[in-house]
Amino acid sequence: MNPRIPAQILVVTALALGGCSSPEDTGSSTQTAASFKYPDGSPHPVTPWGDPDLQGNWPIMHLFATRLQRDPKFGDRRELNDEEWQAAEAGLQRRDERYQDEIKTNKMGMGHWAETTTRTEAARLTSLISYPDNGQLPALTARGEDLAPTFRSDDTQTVFDSVNDFDAWDRCITRGLPASMLPFNYNNGIRIHQAPGYVVIELEMIHEARVVPLGLPPLDPAIKQWMGESRGHFEGATLVVETTNFTGKAPMLIAGIPGGVRGPRPSTVNMKTTERFTRVSNDRIDYEMTIEDPEIQADKWTISYPMFLDAEYQFFEYACHEDNTAVRNFIATSQFERGLRGKAK
C-alpha cells in the first residue's frame, strides 16, 4: 500500500470496484437474507446485495484496561470475578478523571493523550489472549530468539545510526498485524465498510485501510506487503479473513500494548493471521484472530474480544512525526553523545 494515498481514497476505490462485481462471482454468502439470525434468534441485518451487514464504527478503546497476556495469578481463568472487575472498572474511571482534571486546570498531559470510554464489559477479560489456555504468548523458537534482536526499536536501545535501527512503528509506516487490531493509548477507531465482493477495514491509527476482496485466490507468494494481503469469505454470518504475503519486516507485536512485550516481537514472511468477525447483536461483534508463524514461535496464539458499535465515534487525524524528523533527531543525538558529531553551533 502506498503510504501517500489517503485511506479514504482507498476505501472509495474499493467500494467503487465492488459495484462491478456480483455476489455470484465473489465470496459473498450464498445463504438467503432471512436465514441470518443472531444467537437469540432475532434477524441479522444484511446488505442490499445479501451479505451479513457488519458496517459501522467499532472502536476498541474499552479494551485498554485488559492485558494482552494474562497475569499468572489467574491461571486458566478467562474472566474476572465481580470484585476484580470492579477494580478494573475503577481504573478506567481514574483514567477518565485524569482527562477531566486537565480540562479544569487548563493543562494538557497524558489525560488528553490516552483515550477513555464508558464501556467496561471487556474489563471482565483476564487477557486478550484466549489461546493458549494460560493466556500467555507462546515461546519463541531458536530461530525466533536469533531473529528478535534484528527487530530494532527505540523502545529497546539507545544507539542509532540509520533508519534500520527503528521498526516500522517508530517510522510511522505501520503497526502491522496483529498489532493494528490491538488496543493502544489513542487512535483506537476501527470502521468497517462493505460493497459487493469487498470488505474494507479502516483503521484510525496511521489511517491504514485494509481492502479485503471476497472469494479471490491468494496473490503470488512473491508479492509482499507491510500488512500482508487479505482474502475473505463468509461462513454463515461470520466474516473470515485470512492474511498472508507479509514482508517479514514489520514486528508481530510492538511495545506499548498493555501486558504485551517490552520490545518488538519478530515475524517472518510466512506469518499467517485468520480473523473472524461475528455480529452477535445490533451493537456487538465478537472478534477473534489466530496468529501462526511456526518458524519463530512454538505454537499459534489467539486473541478474542468484543467490539461495540459507536455511531458517534469520530476518527481524528493521526499526526505522526512529519518527514521522520524524530528518527533524524534520534540518530543525531545518539551520535553526538558518542562523540561522532561535533557540538551544534
pLDDT tens-digit series, residues 274-332 = 999 999 999 999 999 999 999 999 999 999 999 999 999 988 887 776 666 788 888 88
The C-alpha atoms of residue 182 and residue 29 are separated, in whole angstroms, by 28
Asked whether residue 120 is assigned to any structural domain, the reply reads no
Q: Percent of the chain, pLDDT > 90?
A: 48
What is the span of the domain harbouring residue 227? 7-78+125-337
Whether the per-residue pLDDT at 14 is higher than 60: the answer is: no
Instruction: Check if the beta carbon of residue 312 is closer than 8 Å to that of residue 279.
Output: no
Pick the residue with more confidence: 85 or 25?
Answer: 85
Asked whether residue 191 is assigned to any structural domain, the reply reads yes
The C-alpha atoms of residue 148 and residue 137 are separated, in whole angstroms, by 15
Quick one: pLDDT at residue 171? 80
Element (H, E) at 245: none
pLDDT band (50, 70, 90) for residue 2:
very low
How many domains does the chain fold into? 1
Tell me the average pLDDT of the chain. 84
Minimal CA–CA distance to 188: which of 14, 4, 65? Answer: 65
The arrangement of strands across the sheet holding 284-292 comes to 129-131, 301-308, 284-292, 272-281, 238-244, 229-235
Asked whether residue 114 is assigned to any structural domain, the reply reads no
Quick one: pLDDT at residue 7? 46
φ, ψ of residue 5 to 5 degrees: the values are -90, 120
**Among all chains, which residue has been given the C-alpha cell 461475528?**
278
pLDDT digits (tens, 9 = 90+) for 108-163: 776 666 776 655 555 689 999 999 999 999 999 999 999 988 887 777 778 888 88
pLDDT digits (tens, 9 = 90+) for 238-289: 999 999 999 999 889 877 777 777 778 889 999 999 999 999 999 999 999 9
Asked whether residue 275 is assigned to any structural domain, the reply reads yes
- The mean per-residue pLDDT over the stretch 44-63 comes to 94
Asked whether residue 154 is assigned to any structural domain, the reply reads yes
Asked whether residue 157 is assigned to any structural domain, the reply reads yes
Asked whether residue 87 is assigned to any structural domain, the reply reads no
Asked whether residue 62 is assigned to any structural domain, the reply reads yes
Sign of CA dihedral 91, 96, 98, 104: negative
Minimal CA–CA distance to 312: which of 53, 52, 44, 59? Answer: 59
